[in-house]
Amino acid sequence: MWYDAHSTSSWVKERPPINRAAFCMARFPEVYNDPRWEPARQAVIIRDKGLCQECRRKGIYKPCPTGKNGKKRKSGIQVHHIIELTEENKTDWNIAFNPNNLEVRCDDCHQHQHGRSIGLQSFTQPVGGSI
């Protein structure tokens, strides 16, 4: 049971899912809410065949997770800005929407690129090397 301050009963059976996409996009909502974003994102996912490009560079072919009925889960596939968005460049089409500056990343690689932890990953790596 999880305590949920927003629930009418305060206790819920399952922990609500974390909306990572909303969290990541909170920094530049004007880019991710722009009507040009979703077509650019979809074009990159198709171009990269839904494969994480960082994993591919390492010789790992990691497809994005699938949801019910084999449909791609939007939350499991990330489209990464190669040149990171900043306040100074967020209005530059070549940075924000150009497919040449975008690539598919799996959630693990995308979180690692930005130095964000997504859970217990830091506890799965043994201290001082391999087991």
pLDDT score for 15: 47
> Tokens 């598919």 — which residue?
104
pLDDT at 82: 93
Encode pLDDT of 86-122 as tens digits: 999 999 999 999 999 999 988 778 666 666 554 544 4
State the amino acid at position 20 in one-letter form: R
Average pLDDT over residues 33-59: 93
Mean pLDDT of the chain: 74
Q: Which of the pair, 3 or 128, is modelled with greater confidence?
A: 128
Strand partners, 80: 103
Specify the residue for token string 């591919």.
56
Confidence category of residue 7, pLDDT binned at 50, 70, 90: very low
Instruction: Examine the pLDDT at 81 and tell me if it is beyond 70.
Output: yes
**Dist. CA 25–CA 35, nearest whole Å:** 14
Write the DSSP string, 15-73: PPPP-HHHHHHTT-HHHHTSTTHHHHHHHHHHHTTTB-HHHHHTT---BPPB-GGGPBP
pTM exceeds 0.85:
no
